[in-house]
C-alpha cells in the first residue's frame, strides 16, 4: 500500500505519527515478530495453565479469587465453553492495602509491574497503579479494592511461582 498526501501533511502529520507510534517495522523487527508468532499458541496455553494452577494453590488463602479457569468463578462454565484457555491474568484480594504491599515487598521471583502480556510473571496493586486515576466510587463499582492484586502469570516453572507466592503470602500474614 501507499500513503499519499501533500508534503506539508506528510511532514506535519504522517511523519510525527510514525515516529511516535512505531507502526512501521524494520525488516529485522518484522522477522522477530514473525518468529514469535510461531510459538504464540504454545506460550499462551502454558501461561494459562500456569495461571489456573497458581490460582488453585493460593485460592484458600485469599478472601477473593478472580480467574475464569477456576470453578469458584461465577462464569467458569461459560468461560470453559467459549475458550480453549482461560488466560494468564487473575486477580485476588488479600484484605487491605497494607497486607497487599507486604505481599508485594516479599516477592522474590515475580516482578512488580503493571504491564500485562509478558512472558515473565508480573504483579501489581491496581488501586495504586492502573486504576489510581479513578474515583474511589468508580473503583468500588468495578470491584477494585485496596486489597486487590493482579498477576500476569508467565512461563516460569509453576512450582517456583507457587513457592514464591507461598512465602510472600506467609510474609503478609496469610
**Residue 93 parent element (H or E):** strand 89-93
Q: How far, CA to CA in Å, does 82 sit from each of 15, 28, 40, 44, 92?
A: 42, 36, 19, 16, 23
For residues 86 and 90, what is the distance between their CA atoms, to the nearest angstrom?
A: 10
Domain that holds residue 119: 27-171
Under the banding of pLDDT at 50, 70 and 90, the label for residue 117 is confident
Question: Could you count the other beta carbons within 10 Å of the beta carbon of residue 64?
Answer: 15
pLDDT at 155: 96
Whether residue 5 is contained in a domain is answered as no
- Total domains in the fold of the chain: 1
Whether residue 6 is contained in a domain is answered as no
pLDDT in tens, 7-61: 999 999 999 998 888 788 889 989 999 999 999 999 999 999 999 999 999 999 9
In this prediction the pTM is 0.81
**Which range (44-48, 111-115, 147-151) has the least confidence?**
111-115
The CATH number assigned to the domain holding 167 equals: 3.90.1150.10
Whether residue 1 is contained in a domain is answered as no
**Mean of pLDDT over the chain:** 93
Amino acid at each position: 500500500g501507499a500513503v499519499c498526501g501533500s508534503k506539508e501533511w506528510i511532514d506535519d502529520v504522517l511523519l510525527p505519527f510514525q515516529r511516535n507510534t512505531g507502526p512501521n517495522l524494520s525488516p529485522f523487527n518484522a522477522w522477530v515478530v514473525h518468529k514469535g508468532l510461531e510459538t504464540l499458541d504454545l506460550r499462551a496455553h502454558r501461561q494459562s495453565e500456569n495461571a489456573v494452577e497458581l490460582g488453585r494453590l493460593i485460592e484458600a488463602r485469599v478472601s477473593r479469587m478472580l480467574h475464569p479457569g477456576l470453578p469458584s468463578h461465577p462464569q467458569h462454565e461459560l468461560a470453559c465453553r467459549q475458550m480453549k484457555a482461560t488466560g494468564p491474568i487473575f486477580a485476588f484480594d488479600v484484605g487491605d492495602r497494607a497486607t497487599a504491599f507486604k505481599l508485594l515487598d516479599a516477592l522474590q521471583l515475580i516482578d512488580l509491574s503493571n504491564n500485562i502480556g509478558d512472558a515473565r510473571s508480573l504483579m501489581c496493586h491496581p488501586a495504586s497503579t492502573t486504576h489510581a486515576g479513578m474515583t474511589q466510587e468508580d473503583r468500588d463499582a468495578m470491584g477494585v479494592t485496596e486489597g486487590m492484586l493482579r498477576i500476569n502469570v508467565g512461563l516460569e516453572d509453576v512450582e517456583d511461582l507457587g513457592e514464591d507466592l507461598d512465602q510472600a503470602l506467609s510474609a503478609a500474614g496469610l
